[in-house]
Structure 1
Amino acid sequence: MTSAPRAGTEPFAAEGGRVGFLLSHGFTGSPASMTPWARHLAAQGHSVRVPRLPGHGTTWQDMNRTRWDDWYGELDTALTELRSHCDTVVVAGLSMGGCLALRLAEQRPGDVDAVVLVNPAVNVKRLDIKLVPLLQWVVPSMPGIGNDIKKPGQDEIGYDRTPLKALASQVTMWRQVRAALPSVTQPLLMFRSADDHVVDETSQSIILEGVSSDVAELVTLHDSFHVATLDHDAELIFGRTDAFVAEHLPSSPDREDA
């Protein structure tokens, strides 16, 4: 039986205009990492969704009973709902959420108009992660990766343990997403923290060299760790995303009426 959700991990939804934003939190995290960004977008009149991915926001044991297709399925459903009343949809994600955003762009190119990634994860160099497909059958979890945040007083409300069966499933997802990167053609904006203690630099080059997007911009964040959406550079992320969407997406009723 799944545990009750923890306070502060509630999904976020805002009804707005015909430009929609679907935001995904990361592995073992929660919507709390994306809610400030979501509120910023909603304040500008956009329609916004931040689902809580299955197995998140409760206990790591719950998450160990979920797999990557469960997480993707939650976002896929949210995209369908958002697309039903939006002319334009931007999909954005933090860490594993970035990988899931890329998967949506790969699988549903007609429904995703732009992709925004914050410290996305599609690969790691760490040896212990490479051993996870075997380790998952030996131990249930290992130390957590949450709250890698430079700014004091911030909390993404994640887990203090990393569930290994779920992590092994994420590694499987990484391989599938990497293989299909050439099918990503949407305008892409990537934010990458210069000092990230969770995701190493290999994901950046794999993504930027793998996608077929005519527009693929990289913004380096110099005052944030991994969970940059809650860190010192959060306002930079919000503002640069606004400018990117305004420049690279077709004019929308939202902007025409502004």
Structure 2
Amino acid sequence: MTHTRIKQADFFLQGGRAGVLLVHGLTGTPAEMRFVGKGLHRAGYTVHGMQLAGHCGDEADLLRTGWRDWYSSVGEAAGALRRRVDHLFVAGLSMGAVLALKLAADRPHEVDGVAAYGTTFRYDGWSIPPIARLSFLLPLLTRLGIGRRRRFMESFPYGIKDERIRQRIAGSMLAGDSAAAGLPGNPWPSLAEFYRLAAGMRRQLGRVRAPCLVMHAAEDDVASVDNAHLVARSVAGPVETVLLDDSYHMITVDQQRDRVIACSADFFGRIVSARERAAASAA
């Protein structure tokens, strides 16, 4: 049997023959996907919450990697999980949603469905300062050698509306526990890599033919709902869009995480049922 490689911060939950790969965001950690992972596992899915290359260490670890490394780690984890299951779904948060969509565009015969949580092509939410909204210029600035030692720091409310959860996660992050809560800032070179990924994936959205579940906070503080609308109108496959009215950006840990779990489990389950009916009819 092929075994999935598990990195230090990964989690793997063995379930049935439908698997879900969970992909966290830039400077984040698999812990931000753990609530959803456990919920999907209770619903019968095999779940792998993966660690992106360069993440869960210090800033220097992150800066040694770029978007191609992050995407390569997603592809490796997806390939390993796909060999264990009959149906593969990929769900990502923030930049993780962009990576999930890219995998579906590049590997249409491997990915059976995508769940895009808080998809981020631009940091344009209500809490983002005006100067930070110009961060899409970072690829140009970094090519000119500008800002290599600078970073945008995370700020209140840290993508979380639930005060109790915010205090716990923000406290761990600001205390330097990057494996549990991620880094407290986004280095400019890493943000430049993110925007290179996002720009390329915008051009690929029309190649995504797998069914997509797009879930986004209506009051997302980090990435406005325009990001979700971009996905919904651009992908080629069927789309279901769910806007959450009591969460901020980190919908996988925030107040409506149970709804994220329920919608995702139902969405994936309907795809599995349809594929199994089609296979039975063809037999």
Both proteins in one fold, TM over 0.5: yes
1:142 and 2:165 correspond: no
| Residue 235 (structure 1) shift | 0.2
1:116 and 2:131 correspond: no
CA RMSD, Structure 1 to Structure 2 (Å): 1.8
> What whole-Å deviation, never above 9, does each CA across 1:182-217 have from its counterpart, x for those lacking one?
11111111111011111123322221111011x201
Match of 1:239 among 259, 262, 267: 262
Structure 2: gaps spanning 5 or more residues: 1-7, 125-131, 170-179, 277-283
Question: Helix, strand or coil for the counterpart of 2:273?
Answer: coil
With 51-60 and 68-77 compared, the bigger mean Cα shift is at: 51-60
Asked if the contact 2:217/2:225 (under 8 Å) is kept, the reply is no
1:63 is matched with: 62
| Residue 227 (structure 1) shift | 0.5
> Structure 1 length normalisation: TM-score?
0.88
1:189 and 2:199 correspond: no
2:172 is matched with: none
> What whole-Å deviation, never above 9, does each CA across 1:79-104 have from its counterpart, x for those lacking one?
11111121101100000000000000
Distance 2:80 2:204 in 1: 24
Asked if the contact 1:22/1:89 (under 8 Å) is kept, the reply is yes
Q: How does 1:48-197 map to 2 (within 5 A)?
A: 48-124=47-123, 127-136=133-142, 137-139=145-147, 140-145=149-154, 147-154=158-165, 155=169, 157-197=181-221
2:175 is matched with: none
With 143-152 and 220-229 compared, the bigger mean Cα shift is at: 143-152
| Residue 127 (structure 1) shift | 3.9
1:228 is matched with: 251
1:202 and 2:226 correspond: yes
Asked if the contact 2:18/2:85 (under 8 Å) is kept, the reply is yes
Letter of the structure 2 residue corresponding to residue 141 of structure 1: R
| Residue 124 (structure 1) shift | 4.3
> Structure 2 length normalisation: TM-score?
0.81
> What whole-Å deviation, never above 9, does each CA across 1:206-247 have from its counterpart, x for those lacking one?
21111011x201111111111111100100000011111222
With 86-95 and 199-208 compared, the bigger mean Cα shift is at: 199-208
Asked if the contact 1:195/1:225 (under 8 Å) is kept, the reply is yes
| Residue 138 (structure 1) shift | 2.5
Asked if the contact 1:19/1:252 (under 8 Å) is kept, the reply is no
| Residue 160 (structure 1) shift | 1.2
Distance 1:241 1:145 in 2: 28
Distance 2:152 2:136 in 1: 16
| Residue 148 (structure 1) shift | 1.4
Distance 1:180 1:241 in 2: 23
Letter of the structure 1 residue corresponding to residue 146 of structure 2: V
1:47 and 2:65 correspond: no
Alignment length (residue pairs): 244
Distance 2:84 2:274 in 1: 16
Distance 2:36 2:189 in 1: 30
Distance 2:197 2:136 in 1: 14
Structure with higher helix content? 2
Identity %: 31
Question: Helix, strand or coil for the counterpart of 2:269?
Answer: helix
With 54-63 and 71-80 compared, the bigger mean Cα shift is at: 54-63
Structure 1: gaps spanning 5 or more residues: 1-8, 254-258
Asked if the contact 1:141/1:161 (under 8 Å) is kept, the reply is no
